[in-house]
């Protein structure tokens, strides 16, 4: 799009009081909706690729109008306590590649049902949303997905099993999950996976890190805040494909770090000898709707 045309569009948004900006690298136009009536102006002006909504109740009424913008590529919905049915039209966006849903605790399965039908989705981020095993089962329909982030969601074994079916994934982030052991066997078939983050994902048994040796493209592994100690060094040392390993806020000692560096000489270690802080001090745990999964 010509620069003068971009300037004209940005001015049009400014004139109606809508916060809009241009990405200096891609010329993508982004808008942030601050009031309910602004979405009507955005639909009228158009030419926008990214829309973000704040965490207010009125978003439930404004969100469906965003689905009328066929050129939309990225959508972010803040911590809005809205129902999953508000996402009923999201699959009508043929170019939507990125979607972030924050704190959707009201029938999140319904939202997943609509999201799973998005034809071009490459990045999906769920924040503090309670999805059931049936909802996670819909993930397998997202065959174009490359990035998946679950922040403080309760996955359980069934959730991990469904993630293992997303063979196009290149980046997987799971945070603040707690399981008896990490079911890493479910993701050993993700041959395109390049980055894996298990930030503050707590496993009380042997996590079986050596299973990740079968992921040929895995270059970055984030274990910060996990219960990883010196006795896990031998299994981590088998991950010869790694180029970055984050073990900050774990209980790996300096001696264990020294051994890791010998086992993985080509891998950069991100390390801090500080003990693991209790994650609940910063993020109170979600109440589980299910006793087990």
Average pLDDT for 216-228: 94
What angle do the packed helices 38-45 and 59-66 form, to 10 degrees?
0
Q: What is the pLDDT of residue 7?
A: 92
| DSSP assignment letter at 101 | E
| 113 in the same domain as 37 | yes
Total domains in the chain come to: 2
Q: Which residues lie closer than 8 Å to 56 by C-beta, 6 or more apart?
A: 78, 80
The span from the CA of 72 to the CA of 67, in Å, is: 8
| 279 in the same domain as 184 | yes
Q: Which residues lie closer than 8 Å to 23 by C-beta, 6 or more apart?
A: 29, 30
User: Domain limits at 78?
Assistant: 22-145
| 136 in the same domain as 229 | no
Average pLDDT for 216-240: 94
The CATH number assigned to the domain holding 238 equals 3.80.10.10
The three-class DSSP label of residue 127 is strand
The span from the CA of 227 to the CA of 290, in Å, is: 24
pLDDT band at 273 (very low <50, low <70, confident <90, very high): low
| 194 in the same domain as 135 | no
| 183 in the same domain as 136 | no
Position 98 in a domain: yes
The 10s digit of each residue's pLDDT in 50-82 is 999 887 778 888 899 999 998 999 999 876 667
Q: What is the pLDDT of residue 280?
A: 43
């Amino acid at each position: 799009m010509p620069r003068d045309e971009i300037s004209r569009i940005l001015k049009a948004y400014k004139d109606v009081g809508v916060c809009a900006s241009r990405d200096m690298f891609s010329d993508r136009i982004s808008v942030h909706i601050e009031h309910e009536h602004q979405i009507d102006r955005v639909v009228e002006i158009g030419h926008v690729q990214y829309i973000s909504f704040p965490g207010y109740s009125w978003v439930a009424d404004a969100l469906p109008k965003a689905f009328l913008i066929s050129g939309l590529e990225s959508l972010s919905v803040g911590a809005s306590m809205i129902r999953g049915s508000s996402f009923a039209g999201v699959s009508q966006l043929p170019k939507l590649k990125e979607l972030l849903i924050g704190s959707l605790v009201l029938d999140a399965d319904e939202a997943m049902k609509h999201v799973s039908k998005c034809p071009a989705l490459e990045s999906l981020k769920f924040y503090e949303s309670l999805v059931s095993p049936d909802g996670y089962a819909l993930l397998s329909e997202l065959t174009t997905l490359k990035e998946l982030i679950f922040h403080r969601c309760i996955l359980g074994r069934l959730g991990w099993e469904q993630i293992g079916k997303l063979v196009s994934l290149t980046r997987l982030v799971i945070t603040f999950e707690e399981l008896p052991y990490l079911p890493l066997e479910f993701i050993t078939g993700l041959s395109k996976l390049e980055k894996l983050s298990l930030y503050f994902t707590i496993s009380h048994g042997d996590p079986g890190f050596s299973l990740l040796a079968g992921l040929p493209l895995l270059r970055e592994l984030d274990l910060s805040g996990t219960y990883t100690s010196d006795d896990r060094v031998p299994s981590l040392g088998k991950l010869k494909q790694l180029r970055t390993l984050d073990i900050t806020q774990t209980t790996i000692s300096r001696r264990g770090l020294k051994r890791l560096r010998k086992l993985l000489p080509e891998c950069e270690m991100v390390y801090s000898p500080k003990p693991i802080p209790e994650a609940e001090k910063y993020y109170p745990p979600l109440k589980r709707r299910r006793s087990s999964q």
